[in-house]
Amino acid sequence: MTPSYAPDLALFEDLHSSVVRFTADEVRHRVIVPRRDEALFTAIGSSRLVVSTVDDVLPTSFVSVAAVTDMVRRLSRVSAIGKIQQLDLTRPWLPVRGWIVQQVVKIAIAAESTASVVLLADSDLTFVSTVAADDFLRDGVVRLYSRATGVHAGMADHLDWHRSARRLLGLDETVTPPLPDHICGLVAWDPRLVRSMVDHIAAVGGRHWIRCVTAERHVSEFILYGTYVAELADTRDRSFLSDDPRCLSHWSTDTLTESDGLAFASAARPSDIAVQIQSTSCTTPETRRYLTKSVIARLAR
């Protein structure tokens, strides 16, 4: 599953091509995009691709203000205004930023899924090796990515995400690092547990879970799900933990060039099945493909 939009179309096409190449025919790739971008993604014309829109997911009280904020941003040159994407008419303040909308649609689509495993992959990721549900299942339990002491006192955003997750889940909001980190480039979720999680959030908040989540200023869907599984799910549901991301990631905003190919590929491990190069690094599509091919060649040795 991938949330995307028009500026990431070229990245997404490479991701989808890798899904088709490295997964079985019965695997479907679900993309969720703004309504205005639906035709662009539908035009990809793949039988393996299912295109949904943000409007299909959000309650009817949510209205897109993207066109207005885009116009204001162009006229005022205030870039921050463009981050606002939705308003909930039942609670117009705070407006909902695009980053929060992306997280909500991931959760919502995963909760609807009938698959045994949902893999969440952003548009700037590409698969480089065969991937199957069994890679993330053990005795019927879906793997939870967790670095036990991955969040330290200097990671302010992560600490805020832990606090908001605990607040949404009705847990004590006091956090004392080190804390587990559940964020990586390729994350597996159990749709059954996602459904249980959103029901729990709604029960704690006394309203629709989407309104609970969008009322938060700082949220990480991965920390939210990870905290739910680690602290509130059945013991068996949290019996498969791993700190192997299965993904070679370039998180920096530094632009990669082809001369970085050897060093980048040499960092790939045999367990890696994907490569993620941060979209904000402004690495060219040609360089991305070159680096990805370098990793594929290394893993094939």
Q: What is the pLDDT of residue 57?
A: 84
Residue 135: pLDDT over 50: yes
Q: What is the pLDDT of residue 134?
A: 93
The neighbouring-strand residues paired with 138 are: 141
Q: What is the pLDDT of residue 73?
A: 52
CA 76 – CA 239 distance, rounded (Å): 52
Of the candidates 120, 127, 136, which has an alpha carbon nearest to the alpha carbon of residue 21?
Answer: 127
Average pLDDT score over the chain: 90
Average pLDDT over residues 17-21: 98
- Tell me the pLDDT tens digit for each residue of 147-190: 999 999 999 999 999 999 999 999 999 999 999 999 999 999 99
Domain boundaries, the chain: 2-245, 246-301
For 172, the 3-state DSSP assignment is coil
H-helix or E-strand spanning residue 64: strand 62-64
The first and second tokens of residue 118, run together, are 């949902």
Sheet holding 29-33, edge to edge: 2-3, 29-33, 49-53
Q: What is the pLDDT of residue 75?
A: 56
Of the candidates 47, 211, 14, 28, which has an alpha carbon nearest to the alpha carbon of residue 116?
Answer: 28
CA 269 – CA 14 distance, rounded (Å): 22
CA 122 – CA 34 distance, rounded (Å): 15
Q: What is the pLDDT of residue 81?
A: 43
- Tell me the pLDDT tens digit for each residue of 37-88: 999 999 999 999 999 998 888 866 676 666 555 555 555 554 544 456 666 6
Q: Which numeric CATH code is attached to 2-245?
A: 3.90.550
The first and second tokens of residue 13, run together, are 């096409």
Confidence grade of residue 301 (pLDDT, cut at 50, 70, 90): confident
Q: What is the pLDDT of residue 37?
A: 95
Residue 103: pLDDT over 80: yes
Tokens 């205030």 -> residue: 78
**What percent of the chain has pLDDT above 90?**
79
